[in-house]
Amino acid sequence: MAKPNKFAVFDIDGTLIRWQLYHAIADALARLGYFDSEKFSQVRQARMIWKQRASDQSFKAYEGQLVTSYEAILGQLTVDQFEEAVDLVFDEYKDQVYAYTRDLLKSLKDEGYLLFAISNSQIEIVNKIADYYGFDDCIGAVYGRSGNKFNGQKTVYLTDKDRILKELVTKHKADWEGSIAVGDSASDISMLSIVERPIAFNPEKKLFEAARTKGWEIVLERKNVTYQLKDVDGKYLLA
């Protein structure tokens, strides 16, 4: 009997790609004239407040404004218009990646690992990124369609990435031994918690606190330098 494959799972937005693909699609829709200018102005204002780091909650406020406005106009778009924006985002962002995760993907692929991606961005753009970087399977947010229009139904995986990962492992008959997960946000904690080697990459505050409590590996990439921090007897040391 063949030995089960080892696997690694990656978040995409902010972990591989340097920006949020969900947000980039909203920007592309605005550039194409498909996003109501007044509503998008409100989104941009909320984004600027976040960039000014006005409070610890400014990113959540911005993201909430974006999602509300985005989903309000999605029902007015055709699938063709949406996919036009997806193509623009893929062309612009596919190579705007972090060196650490890009190189880790390549080395793991060379070692024969199965590569999974679990993202809360739309499955259309996640599929493109996954194909481009050689992932074996991927999961993304699904906005339901009826013909060439969106029907208002959606499925996202914000809080249950552990469940989705278990399903992928079962589907591909993968081996938990030697498993790796890489993520940057609180929504990644559940999937990081169930693998052998969890890596908190450029973690936001909640993930950083969880990683520090659990002794997970922390990796920071700034400009052209990568810093790998490992827990040694309760203290993080530069690896």
- Looking at residue 2, its pLDDT comes to 47
Domain containing residue 174: CATH number: 3.40.50.1000
- Looking at residue 1, its pLDDT comes to 40
Residue ranges making up the domain that contains 125: 6-18+97-238
CA distances from 153 to 135, 211, 215, 225 (A): 27, 34, 39, 42
Beta bridge partners of 115: 8
Q: Give pLDDT tens digits along the chain (239 positions).
A: 445 689 999 999 999 999 999 889 999 999 999 987 777 888 888 888 888 888 878 888 888 888 888 888 888 899 999 999 999 999 999 999 999 999 999 999 999 999 999 999 999 999 999 999 999 999 999 999 999 999 989 888 777 999 999 999 999 999 999 999 999 999 999 999 999 999 999 999 999 999 999 999 999 999 889 999 988 888 888 87
Decide if 62 is inside a domain. no
What does the block give as tokens for 73? 């106009």
- Looking at residue 51, its pLDDT comes to 84
Decide if 86 is inside a domain. no
For the chain, the domain total comes to: 1
CA 134, 156, 53, 51 dihedral sign is positive
- Give, as one character, the DSSP assignment of residue 157: -
Decide if 116 is inside a domain. yes
What gap in Å lies between CA 172 and CA 165, rounded to an integer? 11
Decide if 73 is inside a domain. no
Beta bridge partners of 238: 229
- Looking at residue 141, its pLDDT comes to 93
Q: Which amino acid, 222?
A: R
| 60 Cβ contact list (under 8 Å, min separation 6) | none
Q: What's the predicted TM-score (pTM) here?
A: 0.91
Q: Which of 162, 229, 213 is nearest to 190 (CA)?
A: 162
What is the number of residues in the chain? Answer: 239
What gap in Å lies between CA 183 and CA 186, rounded to an integer? 9
Decide if 208 is inside a domain. yes
Decide if 58 is inside a domain. no
Decide if 33 is inside a domain. no
Decide if 30 is inside a domain. no
